[in-house]
Amino acid sequence: MDWEDIALLRKCLLKLSFSILTLFCVVRAAVGSDAVPRPEKLSPEFHQNRLEELYRRCPDGLILLRGELSWYRKRETRTFDSTYADFNFKQERNLYYLTGVEVPDSFVIIDPKKKEVRLYSDWAGKRELEEVRKLPYVSGPFPAAQFLHDVLLRSVDYSTLYVLYEPFLQVGTLYGKTGALSGVFPPGTGEPITEETQFARKLAEIFPGEKVVSLYPTLLAMQKVKQPEEIRLLRRANEIAARGVVEGMKAIRPGLYDHDVAAVIGYEFARLGSVGPTFAFNVMSGPNSFSNLLPLWSDYDHLDRQMRAGEGVFLDVGAEVGYYVSDIGRSAPVSGKFSAEQKVLYDAYLPCFLGAEKSIRPGLTQRDLLKICVSCARDQLAKAQEPYLKTALSDFIRELESHSSLGHYQDMNVLGAGPGDDEPLQPGMVFAIEPILYSAQQNFAVFLEDVILVTDTGYNVLSQGMPYTVQEVESVMRQTSIIEAVDHRQR
């Protein structure tokens, strides 16, 4: 072997060593201590506790619930639903909340007098049925065809059948009524009927001697104050969302598109164990910062656009963990540094946000918190010198005063269960605050959204880890983003 061959061999060995070292680093990173498992779901003890509370609240009625369809059946029934996507099975939230059952194509009878939960399903999946056997308070599964027969036998002891339903036009001012009035059905064809309402009406026809009553108000009352296990999952959902927001802020740069930032947030969510986003990522840059959610969600591309220097962008996102969700956000300058005018707007808004947040404690109401924010905004307006700031603050005050709260409650639903806006807060309640200050003259919106847990002595921010001040935002945006790291690695 001559020197030329030896040199070539050494070069090949060096390349092989480098490749092995690279592979070792990749494998080590993949199995390293930073790998995050998904959090444990609610325990059987949690569901048993919720059932005991349900027995206490509904002693006069048989409770009938229907579960979510299996993947195949759901796909067939959603043939004409253009928004349906083939996601993994997810049980109907309320059935899961009460029982922990995650068997597809299922029906459940809850008998308060006998304190019995009976499951009916023809599902044959081994894993799901084995999981049901871990729930000592659940009997079955029995054949689905036996469900109505058993309802007939057991209903003789009750005057009421409780069913989960809510008339479409009563579900809310934004989602229900807006959807109906914008033409879900052509005018004159009648009120749209949900599957739950159809189920309730069919039961009323089959059992004319029974009064069919919605279980929904009872469940809302039960879910106002969160149990420790719920708080654990809500905390984790918000921690993941906060990490996603921070990574998204790092990625914001002129020339990138909204969907680039959304991709970074989605990666972070999945990496940290979220099963998916609470809703479509709201990355709203430039003029889209002034859009309400309906135009965004009404567009196939979510009004995706390329970000430009000098603009603002705000991120409004949420992660789901073990059926529980989050909804948080922050605004930021596309350029990575606030302009003088943007900083003035931000610094006028921040004391009002923090003043309301730091006032949270048991006994106050949502309306009290809103008044604290309004009072601060009036103080800021009295000190304001810049015309654009005066206009923005005046609009901010007017917008706040048109509402009765600064946000909404959260649990398994992004618009979760909670007391009225004039009812006192209690320890264990969880809600978001999200006032927004707009300046059309500066084409900039200031937005912070935190999720708060009311404690015995005050509050705790579940969505910890996001920046608050101008300096903190700019510091985050100076850090290397996932996109930059990938681009550098590819080069």
Q: Quick: pLDDT tens for 266-277.
A: 999 999 999 999
Q: Does residue 487 register a pLDDT over 90?
A: no
Topology (CATH) of 44-222: Creatine Amidinohydrolase; Chain A, domain 1 (3.40.350)
**Among 119-128, 217-226, 251-260, 291-300, which is the least confidently predicted range?**
291-300
Integer CA distances (angstroms), 231 to 42, 81, 205, 415, in order: 11, 34, 40, 16
Are the beta carbons of 360 and 369 closer than 8 angstroms? yes
Ranges in the chain annotated CATH 3.40.350.10: 44-222
pTM of this structure: 0.87
pLDDT at site 358: 97
Token readout for 25 is 């680093």
The confidence band for 301, taking pLDDT boundaries of 50, 70 and 90, is confident
Q: In the beta sheet, which residues pair with residue 448?
A: 330
Whole-number pLDDT of residue 227: 97
Distance CA 273, CA 265 (A): 13
pLDDT 10s digits, 148-200: 999 999 999 999 999 988 754 444 444 444 443 334 556 666 666 678 888 88
Distance separating alpha carbons of residues 68 and 249, to the nearest angstrom: 36
Residue type for 233, please? L
pLDDT, mean of residues 69-77: 74
Asked if residues 196 and 163 have their Cβ atoms less than 8 Å apart, the reply is yes
Identify the pLDDT of residue 482: 87
Q: How confident is the model at residue 467 (pLDDT cuts 50, 70, 90)?
A: very high
Please give the biggest Cα pair distance in the chain.
Answer: 101
pLDDT exceeds cutoff 60 at 372? yes
φ/ψ bin of 374: left (φ > 0), alpha (ψ from -120 to 50), beta (otherwise): alpha
Please give the DSSP secondary-structure letter assigned to residue 488.
H
Tell me what pLDDT residue 121 has: 96
pLDDT tens sequence across 225-279: 999 999 999 999 999 999 999 999 999 999 999 999 999 999 999 999 999 999 8
State the alpha helices, DSSP H only, in 207-227: 216-222
* CATH 3.90.230.10 domain locations along the chain: 228-490
Query: Residue 189: its pLDDT value, please?
Result: 63
Residue type for position 35: A
Which CATH number is 228-490 given?
3.90.230.10
